[in-house]
Amino acid sequence: MTIFLPQYFEILKGAVLKKAGLASITPYGCKTLSTNIFAETKFSLSETTLKRVYGFALSKFNPSIFTIDTMAKYCGYLGWDDFCEKQNVTKPVKDANQTNDWNSLKQSANKITTFTLQALKNKSGIPYNQTIKRRFVDEHLDEFLNGDYSATVFCAPAGCGKTIGLCHWVEEHLSPQLSASNNDIILFFSSSAIMNVFLSGRNLTDWVLGLLGYSSDADMNLLTDQNHEKEGNFILIIDGLDEYAYKTDQFQQLINQLIDVFAMYKYTPWFKMVLNMRTTTWINNLHILQANTERWFNGFAKQIDTLSGNVPLFSVPEIKELCLNINPSIQNFIAFDLAEHFNHPLYFQFYYKEYKEDFTLNNIDHVCIYELISTFILNKVYLGQHSADKLTFLKLLVKAMELKNHSYQVPKLKINSAIKQYPNAYNELLSIGFIRELNTSTSFGYDTNIHFGNDSFLQHTLAKELLQDHDFIFDEKLIQSINLLFDNEHKLYILKWCIIYATKTAQQNSFDMLPKAHLNLKQKSNLILFLGDLLDKACSPVKKSETIVQYFKKDSSDEFFNYFFGMEFICSDYEKTLQTLLKFELSNRKKIIAYTGLATIAVLQLDMSKLHRYINTLKSFPQNTFQKFTINPLTCLETLYQFFKYGHIKKDLFVDITKFNFNPALYSNTFPDDSADELIYILAGNALLLCNKPQKVIRFVNALRKLYKKPLEPFTPYIFFKKTLIAQAYTLLGDTAQVLEVYKKVATIYSMEEDSFTPYMKSMFNALKIKKAILIEDYESIPAYLKQLTTVCGSSGNKLSRAFIYAAILKTPQIAQLNPAFYQQVRYENMKILREGDLRPDLFVQAEVLNNA
């Protein structure tokens, strides 16, 4: 009877490669090898079979007798049995009682580890040579190997880069430079290889010994000869140790064997075990694996987070390094807010696959991440076997949730009948990380819950179920349902998925309903940027459809247009949204407002050439169109441009505002009470501050109050900006009591609404805080306040606020005396930001203004 011996099979695989003249093999090389084997033996081994043999495709079973016989014949043997006999003759199995050499053991382990590395590297979604080392792996394993520990774990959800990070560490550790100095033995397996433990009917220890060429009854203590002082560690690494890859009884058997290995060697200082698994596998088996907690190293956190594990996502520097590895010519890097999405290695991998032919970051926007998630769901859930069962199971899972209570996990007992009805669908969803099974049972009772793999998968599924419940119609009823069911962080993203569906199904006209979605300011700002990117992509030459063409061939509704506007949304990303809005056939009035928004962004960026370009565009409109505005936006912008470019203050704006202040009632009938006009009022008020006219600011704000014919809400961005204008005006007047009184009101608003504040609003508040500190001589607090302001301004591209605050600090000699290093740093930053804007270095300091514009 032919017996499959895994230790000989590994030797045979190497012999086949040697016969073919290959040092290593790639997935493509399997095709060439298949051809060579047929030419030599006249027996056919398919490319797919060879991929299973060499670990490029999952194999749940031992290779067939035909496969191993053919491979042996290719190497010049009569067959598998003959190959095994010749191995016994030419290279007898070592006896553990014989003298065992640490170096020979290291060589045997290196062969297996090298093969495992090659197989895992070839499976990398991004070419392995373009991936990066992860510093957290070095830190984690350095602490583990140098501490009094026997085992450690890397655990994180699927696609977090655990395996590739570990491969880099192993590869570096095996390099000649480190291998010669540390003398460690690394035995590295993947979970697919461990399947042979069960198929061969052996325990894990015997199987490992067999692969290393030792008799199955050898004991590891004898094998490594503890009487001999070792210069290194024996590091056993098992990758991909996850429940979904095994049958339940097989996995439990494997866990029990690992526990036996750990129990035997936990007090042996040179034995180290490293497990790599998904977080749910770790949590579900924590009670078994960590029976002796003091010998386990879990990472730097006191307790592994049950959702994220101990593997951090990409940092911004790591994203930059990875991008440069893929395409060294990249110059423009991802914006900080978008990096939040692409810090997940899985999503970065999806993006690479989509744009690998010409990899740049130019395609990354607020819509890109949703397209990548959609691609993943299409390939992993909607296509392939059991797709209908998967969708049915997901529907049942959502129906079992208590959405009104914001409970998005389902007890397994509640959904157990569906799991039994659709076992294949359930296991596949677990295997791709779309859902997780998390067991947190205690002595008080059984507690196993089903979660979605991440928030994106949850939000996509919830949005789809909502759309299905509303006959896939994007209307007010759908928005009302979203308002009713979600008032947390999921609401915005579920709404976005519904908007994406509406765009693809020609329901753009329903976007007039968006103001009915109850979003806070930060959510609304995020949605506006998202809509800008979505519509911009929809009308691109590649994706443009006839419905989109017709949609942009008309003027936008007032509701939709006004929804896009507000001083609070001003930031660098907002520019693209306004440019998209200009693709509509807008009225002249709406075009003027849109270009005013773009010019305001240019002001904040201190980009005088761009500001001048937008001013010229506004000048091309008929002059009588500007008469419909209470305050002429062109006059405001020209005043700002003249000051920045030439240090000259234009008087026309003062004349217009003086007329308005004396008789605001004349303008009451023309006031449309919308955010578009409010942007112009705030712009005009800041222009007055720039020109050092605090009394005019106070009169102007008081006049604006008379225009409103209905009570205002307790808090709106418009009210916030008016209060900051008043506070800055009193700062210029040196009226400390009034500044403190207004600041107290603004600070109260900020403390209650901080989470919903947009970056520009936060910059206004932090600038006001610095001015208040200067006024009351609280100089020691200013460095910390300035750090907060710089962070907020950096994320939104706001240079103007920083420039004016730098000027305010530089005009305060007490700060120079108290903290000369800080003062010099501010001077340097001030020179840098003005030089970048091609502005006079002394412009703001000589202007005798201390405002934040």
User: What does the H/E/C string look like for 554-613?
Assistant: CCCCHHHHHHCCCHHHCCCCHHHHHHHHCCCCCCHHHHHHHHHHHHHHHHHCCCHHHHHH
Q: Taking residues 439-466, report their average pLDDT.
A: 89
Work out the pLDDT band at 614, boundaries 50, 70, 90: very high
- Is the pLDDT at 44 greater than 60, yes or no? yes
**Predicted TM-score of the model (pTM):** 0.74
Work out the pLDDT band at 493, boundaries 50, 70, 90: very high
Work out the pLDDT band at 497, boundaries 50, 70, 90: very high
625-676 pLDDT, tens digit each: 888 788 889 999 998 888 888 777 778 888 888 888 877 766 655 444 466 6
Q: Which residue has the higher pLDDT, 662 or 735?
A: 735
Q: Taking residues 409-437, report their average pLDDT.
A: 89
- Is the pLDDT at 708 greater than 70, yes or no? no
In terms of C-beta density within 10 A (0-12 exposed, 13-18 middle, 19 or more buried), how is residue 413 classed? exposed
- Is the pLDDT at 200 greater than 60, yes or no? no
Tell me how far apart the alpha carbons of residues 666 and 678 are, in angstroms, rounded to a whole number: 18
What pLDDT, on a 0 to 100 scale, did the predictor assign at position 849?
A: 38
Radius of gyration of the chain (CA): 34
Q: By percentage, how much of the chain surpasses pLDDT 70?
A: 85
Task: Give me the long-range contacts of 550-558 (CB less than 8 A, separation at least 24).
Answer: 551/508, 551/509, 552/583, 552/584, 552/585, 553/585, 554/584, 554/585, 555/584, 555/585, 555/586, 555/587, 555/590, 556/581, 556/584, 556/586, 556/590, 557/512, 558/674
Q: Taking residues 378-401, report their average pLDDT.
A: 92
Tell me how far apart the alpha carbons of residues 446 and 440 are, in angstroms, rounded to a whole number: 8
**Strand ranges across the sheet with 271-277:** 185-190, 234-239, 271-277, 151-155, 296-297
Which stretch of 108-122, 275-289, 332-346 has the lowest confidence by average pLDDT?
332-346
**Strand ranges across the sheet with 435-439:** 410-411, 448-452, 435-439
Which stretch of 79-83, 339-343, 366-370, 771-775 has the lowest confidence by average pLDDT?
339-343
Work out the pLDDT band at 479, boundaries 50, 70, 90: very high
Residue 451 β-bridge partners: 436
Q: In which residue ranges of the chain is CATH 3.40.50 found? A: 100-312
- Phi-psi category of residue 75: left, alpha or beta, with phi > 0 → left and psi -120 to 50 → alpha: alpha
Which stretch of 89-103, 234-248, 473-487, 715-729 has the lowest confidence by average pLDDT?
89-103
DSSP structure class, residue 514:
G
Place of tokens 């939104």: 796
Specify the CATH number for 100-312; select among 3.40.720, 3.40.50, 3.40.1350, 1.10.3210.
3.40.50
Q: By percentage, how much of the chain surpasses pLDDT 90?
A: 24
* Angle at the Cα of 49 from the Cα atoms of 48 and 50, rounded to 5 degrees: 90
Residue 410 β-bridge partners: 450
Amino acid occupying residue 262: F
Two structure tokens written together for 777: 């001589």
Work out the pLDDT band at 845, boundaries 50, 70, 90: low
Q: Taking residues 492-517, report their average pLDDT.
A: 90
What pLDDT, on a 0 to 100 scale, did the predictor assign at position 210?
A: 61
Which stretch of 354-368, 644-658, 709-723 has the lowest confidence by average pLDDT?
709-723
Q: Taking residues 494-521, report their average pLDDT.
A: 90
Two structure tokens written together for 163: 């395996």
What pLDDT, on a 0 to 100 scale, did the predictor assign at position 10?
A: 77
- Phi first, then psi, for residue 815 (nearest 5°) are -70, -40
The angle, 0 to 180 degrees and rounded to 10, between the axes of the packed helices 800-810 and 588-604 is 40
In terms of C-beta density within 10 A (0-12 exposed, 13-18 middle, 19 or more buried), how is residue 42 classed? exposed
Tell me how far apart the alpha carbons of residues 299 and 91 are, in angstroms, rounded to a whole number: 43
Work out the pLDDT band at 714, boundaries 50, 70, 90: low
- Is the pLDDT at 284 greater than 50, yes or no? yes
What pLDDT, on a 0 to 100 scale, did the predictor assign at position 98?
A: 41
Tell me how far apart the alpha carbons of residues 298 and 280 are, in angstroms, rounded to a whole number: 15
Q: Taking residues 748-753, report their average pLDDT.
A: 87
What pLDDT, on a 0 to 100 scale, did the predictor assign at position 850?
A: 34
Are 638 and 835 in contact by the 8 Å Cβ rule? The answer is no
Alpha helices (H) along 174-231: 176-182, 191-199, 204-211, 220-224
What pLDDT, on a 0 to 100 scale, did the predictor assign at position 648?
A: 77
Which stretch of 169-173, 812-816, 842-846 has the lowest confidence by average pLDDT?
842-846
Are 341 and 347 in contact by the 8 Å Cβ rule? The answer is yes
Q: In which residue ranges of the chain is CATH 1.25.40 found? A: 717-846
- Is the pLDDT at 445 greater than 70, yes or no? yes
| Selection from 56-65, 127-136, 286-295 with the highest mean pLDDT | 127-136
What pLDDT, on a 0 to 100 scale, did the predictor assign at position 301?
A: 55
- Is the pLDDT at 699 greater than 50, yes or no? yes
Q: In which residue ranges of the chain is CATH 1.10.10 found? A: 378-453
What pLDDT, on a 0 to 100 scale, did the predictor assign at position 207?
A: 65
- Is the pLDDT at 440 greater than 60, yes or no? yes
The angle, 0 to 180 degrees and rounded to 10, between the axes of the packed helices 633-646 and 652-662 is 140
- Is the pLDDT at 312 greater than 90, yes or no? no
Tell me how far apart the alpha carbons of residues 794 and 100 are, in angstroms, rounded to a whole number: 62
Tell me how far apart the alpha carbons of residues 32 and 27 are, in angstroms, rounded to a whole number: 10
What pLDDT, on a 0 to 100 scale, did the predictor assign at position 847?
A: 43
Q: Taking residues 313-320, report their average pLDDT.
A: 84
- Phi first, then psi, for residue 816 (nearest 5°) are -65, -40
Tell me how far apart the alpha carbons of residues 202 and 765 are, in angstroms, rounded to a whole number: 68
Alpha helices (H) along 313-367: 316-326, 336-342, 345-355
What pLDDT, on a 0 to 100 scale, did the predictor assign at position 174?
A: 85
What pLDDT, on a 0 to 100 scale, did the predictor assign at position 94?
A: 47
117-148 pLDDT, tens digit each: 888 888 888 888 889 999 899 999 999 998 88
Q: Taking residues 813-827, report their average pLDDT.
A: 92
Domain 717-846 falls under CATH 3.40.50 = no
Work out the pLDDT band at 24, boundaries 50, 70, 90: confident
226-270 pLDDT, tens digit each: 444 456 788 999 998 888 777 777 788 888 888 888 887 777 888
Which stretch of 203-212, 443-452, 471-480, 602-611 has the lowest confidence by average pLDDT?
203-212
Place of tokens 């690394």: 186
Which stretch of 543-557, 611-625, 727-741 has the lowest confidence by average pLDDT?
543-557
What pLDDT, on a 0 to 100 scale, did the predictor assign at position 227?
A: 46
- Is the pLDDT at 100 greater than 60, yes or no? no
* Average pLDDT over all residues of the chain: 82
What pLDDT, on a 0 to 100 scale, did the predictor assign at position 204?
A: 67
What pLDDT, on a 0 to 100 scale, did the predictor assign at position 97?
A: 43
Which stretch of 60-64, 540-544, 659-663 has the lowest confidence by average pLDDT?
540-544
Third-level CATH fold of 378-453:
Arc Repressor Mutant, subunit A (1.10.10)
- Is the pLDDT at 542 greater than 90, yes or no? no
Count helices and strands (H / E) in the chain. 43, 8
Q: Which residue has the higher pLDDT, 366 or 89?
A: 366
Q: Taking residues 47-63, report their average pLDDT.
A: 77
